[in-house]
Amino acid sequence: MEVRPFDRRAFLDGEVQDALEAFEVDWVVLAGFLWRIPKEMIAAFPNRMVNVHPALLPDFGGQGMYGHHVHRAVSASGRTETGMTVHHVTADYDEGPPIFQVRCSIEPGEAPELIAQKVQELEYRYLPSVVEQLIENSSQTASS
């Protein structure tokens, strides 16, 4: 496997998309990626680009809602549960259709750091199997 770091310019100028296409990448899996994805890249990977969000979308999503910002907002809301969402990527932050959600209990006003720990455990536990299932399902559909 080759690792190719990139900066924002290379990403926005299409160099990253060109590299993904040159390597014949089938799926793009983002894990809390914070930059807006160019529409051309989304179009190049229709329904094959997913992201994980550290809350139960549509709540606590959108521009600026990432990392500790999400967990602070969840804590301040007084909710008794949170979780993580795997969703398709669209041109708008966290607006893509959810693919998978899993919940965990929290105490109202629980410390954002504790919420983050619980959500990360869910991400580590579920994201790989969700992605594996997506790829398997798409392979079955393509061969039918």
Q: Is the CB of residue 41 less than 8 Å from the CB of residue 18?
A: no
Rounded to the nearest integer, the mean pLDDT of the chain is 93
Residue-level pLDDT at 87 = 96
Q: Which tokens hold the place of 66?
A: 């990432």
pLDDT at 2: 74
Q: Which pair of tokens denotes residue 114?
A: 């504790």
Q: Which of 53, 71, 87, 88 is catalytic?
A: 53
pLDDT tops 90 at residue 4: no
Burial level of 2, CB count in 10 A (0-12/13-18/19+)? exposed
Q: Would residue 87 show up in a list of annotated catalytic residues for this protein?
A: no
The answer to whether residues 83 and 97 touch, using CB atoms and an 8 Å cutoff, is no
CATH 3.40.50.170 fits 30-39+48-143, yes or no: yes
1 has pLDDT over 90: no
Q: Full-prediction pTM beyond 0.85?
A: yes
Query: pLDDT tens digits for 77-109?
Result: 999 999 999 999 999 999 999 999 999 999 999
Q: What element of type H or E holds 53?
A: strand 49-53
User: For position 5, what pLDDT does the model report?
Assistant: 87
- What does the domain layout of the chain look like in residue ranges? 30-39+48-143
Q: What is the per-residue pLDDT across 31-73, written as a single tens digit (0 to 9) for each? A: 978 888 999 999 999 999 999 999 999 999 999 999 999 999 9
